[in-house]
Structure 1
Amino acid sequence: MAWPDEKTGLHVLMTADAVGGVWQYALDLSEGLRPHGVKTTIAVLGPPPSADQRAMAEAAAATLILTGLPLDWAAPSPHEAEGTGRAITRIAAHIRPDVVHLNTPALAASAAFDVPVVAVCHSCVATWWHAVKTGPLPEEFVWRTELVKRGYDSAARLLAPTHAFAQATAQAYKLLQTPIVVRNGRRAMPVTGQRQPNEFVFAAGRLWDEGKNVAVIDRVASRLTIPILAAGPLEGPNGTKVMVAHARALGRLSDAEIAQYLGAQPIFISMARYEPFGLAVLEAAQTECALVLSDIPTFRELWEDAALFVDPSDEDAIAKAIEHLLDHPKARADLGRAARKRADAYTVEAMCAGVLNAYRSVLCQNPLRPPVEGATA
């Protein structure tokens, strides 16, 4: 297939949800691809986006389709999950994109798209379980894993945000080819906060997700001389809840509100046991926050020599790492600068270049539709 130029344009149908980091990923990607002549329509799964999330989509010039369809990992049965995939197929047949970009690869399990599919391995229940739990997968995870496997097999290209997660995915699903690594990027948020006399530690993310290990952060909060402020929802769309007794729960914050906290350059903490990439860590690094991170493969890959790494189950070591940075301001500042320097490599431009290469590759190998009129090869 010929590659459309900026005048004829390329139309991508992308799936996303407004629950976690995939939302920021989808919008940053949509905005970054626009100068390359790519128009993005986002089919939103799960709960509808909030007002500030819709404003983000408008700023990115992304067209939203609010489907009301269940998330694959929150669907009560394989029938409903497969129904979501078929519904996305119907949307694709109606709007006729050139490429389908699935941020939820399981949707390809029961879908028959007539254009190439690029799927991104952001996370999945199988790799989550292996990182967070022990023993065999529960039955409700078994059928979800089977759907994801079928989705992976149906995609023309698989992408993953880190080598560590690409390898974990290939191992969990016995893939013949390891997903191609395209690092996530994040457009830096305007820094609006100011250095404050009252120090604090900051954490952010889907707090309800057991993989984020917020229970440990909450207990560490009781050991510190400064508070831990935790931004993010305490209840997930699948009914999972977490209680916070010692940290100060801020609830879900907008990007602008998070920027205000990060602008004060607090110590940023993530003790996640499962984190395929971690956009919240990148956002903190962009504002020169010193990072205290769990010692897991993805964080080591991304932030080696730019963070303090701690065993996520060692509460005493976590508290000591934070107190060390409080007692040694020069070391803290040096660590923050190192994080900022590393963050400069994880740009939206680099992410878009990798995704564009994937689009070009599948379009050249899958001439399923006639070339766009007037396009050049």
Structure 2
Amino acid sequence: MTGRHVLMTTDAVGGVWQYSTDLARELARGGYQVSLAVFGPAPDEAQRRCAAGIDGVRLLETGLPLDWMCDGADVVTQAAQSLALLADACGADIIHCNSPALAGAADFPVPVVAVAHGCIATWWQAAKNEPLDPAYRWHGEMMRRGLLAADVVVAPSASFAATLQSTYRLPQMPLVVHNGRPPTASGMGGRRSLDAALTIGRMWDPVKNGALLDAVAGMIDLRFLAAGPLCSPHGEEITFAHIQALGQVPGPDLNELLALHPIAVSAARFEPFGLAVLEAASAGCALVLSDIATFRELWDGAARFADPDDAEGFAAAITRVHGDPALRQQLGAAAQARAARYTPAATADAVMALYRTLRPDREAAA
């Protein structure tokens, strides 16, 4: 046992919850004590049960706001100051901050590892292809201060690390630690194939390119399913004319669906990593992905690619994979093999190595 205590911020809204609980489980196995501090909306009962089932991990429902859901800097600064007090009160040795906007807004008593999973400025550019709305510039300023103030800055892909450095004029490139997900157990069985395409994610989010996928669904002779919320916490929503929307699908049900090996499709215009694609790959689904830098970095050689502005190109790629069972099986096997690189254990090994660079004296004495 190292005796190290990590205070890790999380939220119950999206992929950060998966990342933080998977990582916390592996850190606990590595001898770390982990306190998960929830910012933003409270976790639901299933999420509470998930956290309660991880030995060595304590869930702290702080009631503090989530930075990207706030209207201004003052409330985020107060949340950062509360995080600093919490770190002192719980005896944390390291703050693992999954909301980098907090990292420069308080005087923290211990080293801070800031992990950027996304941000308003980079999302805005991808979604709208225009400068950030002045109403949100405060968040961009807080992100830059946080990224500069943190002891270590981490991005989940080299592509997003480069985007962060350019967007926030950072003197150094963030370190790259790929995200991971546990292997999808149901994907290890037979090669049954569902006669459908499937996309997974926040359907309301314009960077997920749902409108283009709906057009694609109208071009192909194949059922097209979408798993994920249609409405955002801020009220944005999407409706489909051709896609069959499944809404938010519980994890076990999604695993069962992936075990049938639909063709997994993402036309995202921007993706810091893409946990949903990883889950589909882990299950052995053939991948048809947008030709963006992140997906090339992670899946080149294990997927088919199409331009995220080219609905006909996506339709042709999906039709090609669907019409060739041997190709579909080959792509599914390649995706599953590639997915084996991206596990929570691999992520945790890299993160623990970073932790040791922060306080080597205490690590050696433990």
**TM bracket (short chain):** over 0.9
Equivalent positions of 1:158-177 (< 5 A) are: 158-177=153-172
Match of 2:246 in 1: 250
2:6 and 2:151 map into 1 onto residues whose CA distance is: 15
Counterpart selection for 1:316 from 309, 312, 315? 312
- The Cα offsets for residues 209-245 of structure 1, whole Å up to 9 and x where unpaired, read as 2111112112211222222111111122233222223
The letter of the residue matching 2:94 is V
CA contact (8 A) 1:162 1:298 kept: yes
Match of 1:12 in 2: 6
Shift of 1:194: 7.4
Tell me if 1:376 matches 2:340.
no
**Structure 1 residues 341, 295: CA separation in 2 closer, same or farther (over 3 Å shift)?**
same
CA contact (8 A) 1:28 1:60 kept: no
Counterpart selection for 1:178 from 167, 173, 177? 173
* DSSP-derived class of the 2:271 partner: coil
Q: Normalized against structure 1, the TM-score is what? A: 0.92
Match of 2:299 in 1: 303
Match of 1:28 in 2: 22
* DSSP-derived class of the 1:68 partner: strand
Counterpart selection for 2:237 from 238, 241, 253? 241
Tell me if 1:89 matches 2:84.
yes
Counterpart selection for 1:212 from 205, 208, 211? 208
CA contact (8 A) 2:101 2:144 kept: yes
Match of 2:70 in 1: 75
Shift of 1:15: 0.5
Which is worse superposed, 293-302 or 17-26? 17-26
Tell me if 1:338 matches 2:327.
no
Shift of 1:65: 1.1
Gaps of 5+ in 2: none
Match of 2:133 in 1: 138
- The Cα offsets for residues 283-313 of structure 1, whole Å up to 9 and x where unpaired, read as 1111110000000000000000100110111
Which is worse superposed, 119-128 or 275-284? 119-128
**Structure 1 vs Structure 2: percent identity of aligned residues?**
44
1:186 and 1:316 map into 2 onto residues whose CA distance is: 32
Which is worse superposed, 192-201 or 281-290? 192-201
**Structure 1 residues 250, 195: CA separation in 2 closer, same or farther (over 3 Å shift)?**
farther
The letter of the residue matching 2:310 is D
Which is worse superposed, 81-90 or 18-27? 81-90
2:19 and 2:194 map into 1 onto residues whose CA distance is: 32
The letter of the residue matching 2:335 is A
Paired residues, number: 364
* DSSP-derived class of the 1:112 partner: coil
Shift of 1:362: 1.3
Match of 2:54 in 1: 60
Counterpart selection for 2:359 from 326, 340, 363? 363
* DSSP-derived class of the 1:292 partner: strand
2:41 and 2:199 map into 1 onto residues whose CA distance is: 23
Tell me if 1:280 matches 2:294.
no
Gaps of 5+ in 1: 1-5
Structure 1 segments of 4+ aligned residues over 3 angstroms from their partners: 192-198
Shift of 1:50: 2.0
Match of 2:102 in 1: 107
* DSSP-derived class of the 1:224 partner: coil
- The Cα offsets for residues 105-163 of structure 1, whole Å up to 9 and x where unpaired, read as 10112121100000101111222222232232111221110010111111000011111
Q: Normalized against structure 2, the TM-score is what? A: 0.95
2:193 and 2:111 map into 1 onto residues whose CA distance is: 54
* DSSP-derived class of the 1:48 partner: coil
CA contact (8 A) 1:265 1:288 kept: yes
Match of 2:255 in 1: 259
The letter of the residue matching 2:95 is V
CA contact (8 A) 2:194 2:260 kept: no
The letter of the residue matching 2:342 is Y
The letter of the residue matching 1:119 is A
1:259 and 1:156 map into 2 onto residues whose CA distance is: 37
2:79 and 2:314 map into 1 onto residues whose CA distance is: 42
Tell me if 1:39 matches 2:33.
yes
